[in-house]
Structure 1
Amino acid sequence: MRPRDLIRQRIQRQVYATVHGAGLDHTRYDRPPGDPGLFGPDSVVWLVHGDIPGMFTGGVAALLLQSLHPLAMAGVDQHSRYREDPIDRLNRTAGFVTVTSYGSTAEAEAAIERVRRVHDHVRGVAPDGRPYDAADPDLLRWVHVAETASFLAGYQRYARKPLTPDQQDRYFDEYALVAERLGATDVPRSVAEVRAHLRAVRPELAASEAALAAVEFLLTPGSLVQDRARGLAMRVLVAGGADLLPPWAAAELRLPRRSPLRTTADRAAVRALAAALRYGCEPSVVITAARARALAG
């Protein structure tokens, strides 16, 4: 095997291990023939969720933004093991987004049902005394909006060709399906509706002690992975994700102010890493299998 092929293979193996762990089952994507899944090859969801640099940085931004909702953060703090096994949460989130985007219809629906069952047990009382329930439609809407807005922001900054305004609206309209099947209501379906929702919910957002602790954990070198190369890559992606946040969110989370020079350097580092990730992981084996499945017959 040629040296460059070995390099590509190593990059792909590292990325898949970090994102999917042992959970990447190709049979979820390559059958049955002719099944487009929930969205299909012509969807904008396939475009956005297939861009690794945008999804990595957008995923970090989503975690940070979601933490600003005190009830959502209470659920994470009290019911997850992110401190003991931060990669596990990344694996589960990445796996869910991947299978609902590219998996067969049956596999996507099964993944949604599994998450609904988990949500049935995630409830409690936040430190401010308010009860929370992960199955609350309003809370589900917030988590979805923070996630999709962040994914789109990552795509628009780091994809080879940003989406047009119409495509951006289509993205929110398409992926709203997953939020609704999880139990969310009144899900925003356009850029304008997402922005309106963020404005409406902003008075409810605040950096709780749990949120600030999670941010400190995320920004601590070596807290996510011990491998030196992956640790460096994660630091680049975390900085890129923090850079995607709206200024008010970064200020609320007490993130360090970024000088123009630092911002330029961070974005250049993400773009350099993006080139390596694309070299190692494109064409995506998941998308290739899903496309062949959808177009078969």
Structure 2
Amino acid sequence: MKDEGYFGPHSMAWRVHSNPVTLVGGVRALLIQALHPLAMAGILEHSVVTGDISGRYMRTRDFVLAAIFGDRATADEAGARVRAAHRPVAGVDRVTGLSYRATDPELLLWVHCALVDSFLAAQQRFGRRLEGAEADLYVAEMMRMGRLVGLRDEDMPVGREDLRITMASYEGMLRHSEGADATWKLLAHPPMPLAGRPVWALVFAASVSIMPPKLLRIYGRTAPKIPASALSAGVTAGARFARMIGRPSPVFAAARELARAEGVRL
């Protein structure tokens, strides 16, 4: 029997992450994660290139693809790489004066929840909306991804309400910082071919449009005043452009063939 990994063709995770709107969710997740100063400290102070935000996006994307669409060995290897990369990352944050470790379960949980919440928000706004029970199932399924980076089941949300409560519990820690500002600016204006910049502007605006207003206020920003139809068109065009300039994912290609063999279209 073919190894379907930790999720499989009939999972909510495969349904959500086969949709290109995850591009929007990924950008939203980075913007939200960046508001936690201890999460940003590890990137700004331990990257080979200081503030390697774009590299972090690509590494996160590769991990999520491997965790969700890879077979179990591929997913386990991806998780092991993340855990190994986290082990030496520790220090004292210059913004808060607090010590941090990338292996801290509270930081891992913040990153995990921001990802899950953002992917779900993008799906609900720009993809095929999940019904209530389907959305709860997606949150629960994503615990399997959390385990790969070292989180325990008892610490992770098992549904939308748990996710909302967990996200809210971090609000007192969130703040605007140099790192958050650098993240915003890089994601708003990433290095890319001139032809792709107008499309990316809409993708970024779509990501910002689904951020919680209270988090936008921390950034000192407001939601973009762009018609929903224009944002949706921009997301579609952005996904096509990303596929054109990005390297194809063998993991996703193999998963798509597996799904097709089971009568599931991704």
Q: TM-score range by the shorter chain?
A: 0.7 to 0.9
| Amino acid of the structure 2 residue aligned with 1:93 | T
2:78 is equivalent to residue 111 of structure 1: yes
Q: Indicate the residue corresponding to 1:158 in structure 2.
A: 126
**Which deviates more, 82-91 or 189-198?**
82-91
2:199 is equivalent to residue 230 of structure 1: no
2:103 is equivalent to residue 138 of structure 1: no
Structure 1: gaps (5+ residues): 1-32
* Distance verdict in 2 for CA 1:37–1:156, change over 3 Å: same
Q: 1:178 deviation in Å?
A: 1.6
For residues 5 and 109 of structure 2, the distance between their equivalents in structure 1, rounded to whole angstroms, comes to 23
TM-score, normalised relative to structure 1: 0.77
Q: With CA pairs under 8 Å and 6+ residues apart, which has the higher RCO, 1 or 2?
A: 1
2:255 is equivalent to residue 290 of structure 1: yes
8 Å contact kept, 1:125–1:131: yes
* Distance verdict in 2 for CA 1:142–1:163, change over 3 Å: same
For residues 235 and 253 of structure 1, the distance between their equivalents in structure 2, rounded to whole angstroms, comes to 18
8 Å contact kept, 2:42–2:89: yes
Q: Indicate the residue corresponding to 2:56 in structure 1.
A: 89
Q: How does 1:7-86 map to 2 (within 5 A)?
A: 34-52=2-20, 54-80=21-47, 86=53
8 Å contact kept, 1:82–1:88: no
The number of residues matched between the two structures is: 255
CA deviation digits over 1:247-275, x for unaligned, max 9?
A: 0011101224534xx25365244255268
Rg comparison, structure with higher value: 1
TM-score, normalised relative to structure 2: 0.86
Structure 2: gaps (5+ residues): none
8 Å contact kept, 2:205–2:224: no
8 Å contact kept, 1:144–1:179: yes
| Amino acid of the structure 2 residue aligned with 1:146 | A
Q: 1:86 deviation in Å?
A: 4.9
For residues 82 and 244 of structure 1, the distance between their equivalents in structure 2, rounded to whole angstroms, comes to 30
2:210 is equivalent to residue 244 of structure 1: yes
Structure 2 counterpart SS, 1:214: helix
| Amino acid of the structure 1 residue aligned with 2:13 | V
8 Å contact kept, 1:66–1:143: yes
Structure 1 counterpart SS, 2:170: helix
Q: 1:184 deviation in Å?
A: 2.1
Percent identical pairs in the alignment equals 34
Q: Indicate the residue corresponding to 2:219 in structure 1.
A: 253
2:228 is equivalent to residue 264 of structure 1: yes
* Distance verdict in 2 for CA 1:85–1:235, change over 3 Å: farther
**Which deviates more, 201-210 or 188-197?**
201-210
